[in-house]
Amino acid sequence: MNFLRNTFAVLIGLTVALLVITLGIRTNPGWITFEDFAPFEHWETFLKSVEHDNRFFGFLLLFTGVGSVIGGVATAIIVKYGKVAYAILIGFVLLFLAMLDIIIFPYHPTFYKICIFLTFFPFSWIGGKIVEVIYERKKRRLNEAAQR
């Protein structure tokens, strides 16, 4: 039963992280010029249009960090054991997807290709660690209350 719960947690964490990243990109209407929401159909032409706009890629890095933290928190809340490990798994899967994006569409600046490694793992780890610390404090308070 833990396998299903953990799989569900990872899928929820990935969905939340990708949703945050996608909504982060959509916040600036100047970047998204197409009407229908079909990111994979327009992604290559979009990357060509913002290839020299470092503000977009900096903003994208910011939202990958935020998405990794929130996805890590969502995963760690659902998982029963190994909260930080499963949160880091979210970072690994997101990094894999980002590397596929960089390989398939080579229009990313060099600083983005380097910094992407520095965002997913640490920020997803922070998300898992936040939940772990909260749960440990809660457990400690319950133990102290039970001893009184």
- Range of 103's domain? 2-147
Number of domain units in the chain: 1
Nearest to 54 by CA among 107, 103, 93: 107
Give the model confidence (pLDDT) of 105-128 as tens digits: 888 888 988 999 899 989 999 999
Residue-averaged pLDDT of the chain: 87
Nearest to 98 by CA among 112, 84, 88, 111: 112
Query: Taking the model in full, what pTM does it have?
Result: 0.86
DSSP category for residue 106: -
Residue 86 has pLDDT above 90, yes or no: yes
Give the model confidence (pLDDT) of 60-76 as tens digits: 899 999 999 999 999 99
